Amino acid sequence: MTGTKVLYVSQEITPYLPETEMSVIGRNLPQAIQEKGREIRTFMPKYGCINERRNQLHEVIRLSGMNIIIDDSDHPLIIKVASIQAARMQVYFIDNEDYFQRKYLLSDDMGEYFEDNDERAMFFARGVIETVKKLQWPPNIIHCHGWFSALLALYVKKLHDDDPVFRNSKVVLSLYNNEFNKSLNKSFRKKLSMDGVSDADLKVVEDPNYVNYSKLVIGMSDGIIIGSPQIHADVMKVAEKSGKPLLHYQDPESYVDAYSAFYDQILNGSVTR
């Protein structure tokens, strides 16, 4: 559907991070969809390991400056942008000194997940929302890649569903083989409740392990894409039993056309499982 606005929110994008299954899709999919005549915007976290000078990132002053409150603490939102010239594509980066100025992505050099990954994901999702609102760019499709980006579905569906920018947005979630190996911070549910999410919606994350977290974000999505050949078996079962439109794994040669058709089916309400 030419002219459709697609917002990509990705956990990883190359060349800013090393090539992985997710980062390559995060780089190539938006370009391919744009070449099909759709409008795109692309967001990712500005991890501290991203070299700003080499990648020519610069701060967008008009979009930066607001504070986001998480667990009663203020965290300044900084927006940076860079261009992938070959793709004629800009990438917006969500940055904050407290959450994203460390050398590693989601775990330390010993492989231990950061204790504040819950707050980092919350800040990222809310940063994307506030920036898109400032841009006054209402997306038809919001495509989230990876668990770290998936919390956006909750905020859009439960806290911004009446906002003119997001009122008609459909959220598509790509699930990958990248689960976290221990529960998120035990206060995760309380922090989301402080943002205004109801206790009923958060009951599933009383224990915020990966499967329960996935139940939460899958329940808030309008469509699910399996982004890896194999994903966590229990999460796959959740996706299959959710009743949500589901696109199974597509090989690298055909996924662009399949994803594009899936977007149209989601928007038209014509998806068959």
Partners of 6 in the beta sheet?
A: 40, 141
Collapsing DSSP to helix, strand or coil, 6 comes out as strand
Looking at residue 87, its pLDDT comes to: 86
Q: Which domain holds residue 234?
A: 5-267
Looking at residue 21, its pLDDT comes to: 96
Residue 174, domain member (yes or no): yes
Report phi then psi at 95, rounded to 5. Answer: -130, 150
Residue 91, domain member (yes or no): yes
CA distances from 154 to 20, 44, 211 (A): 26, 17, 16
Residue 201, domain member (yes or no): yes
User: In the predicted model, is pLDDT for residue 155 greater than 90?
Assistant: yes
Could you tell me what percent of the chain has a pLDDT over 90?
92
Residue 272, domain member (yes or no): no
**E strand or H helix that includes residue 183:** none
In this structure, what token pair is assigned to residue 59? Answer: 């701060």
Looking at residue 181, its pLDDT comes to: 87
Q: In the structure, how many helices (H) and strands (E) does the chain have?
A: 10, 11
158 burial level (CB within 10 Å; 0-12, 13-18, 19+):
middle
Residue 273, domain member (yes or no): no
Structure pTM?
A: 0.96
Residue 238, domain member (yes or no): yes
- How far is it, in rounded angstroms, from Cα 203 to Cα 206? 6
pLDDT tens-digit readout, 203-243: 999 999 999 999 999 999 999 999 999 999 999 999 999 99
pLDDT tens-digit readout, 83-119: 998 889 999 999 999 999 999 999 998 889 999 999 9
Q: Burial letters for 225-243: b for 16+ Cβ neighbours within 10 Å, e otherwise?
A: bbbeeebbeebbebbeeee
Contact between 207 and 185 (Cβ < 8 Å): no
The domain spanning residue 208 has which CATH number?
Answer: 3.40.50.2000
CB contact set of 109 (below 8 Å; sequence gap of 6+): none
Residue 184, domain member (yes or no): yes
Contact between 46 and 95 (Cβ < 8 Å): yes
Residue 114, domain member (yes or no): yes
Looking at residue 39, its pLDDT comes to: 96
Looking at residue 270, its pLDDT comes to: 63
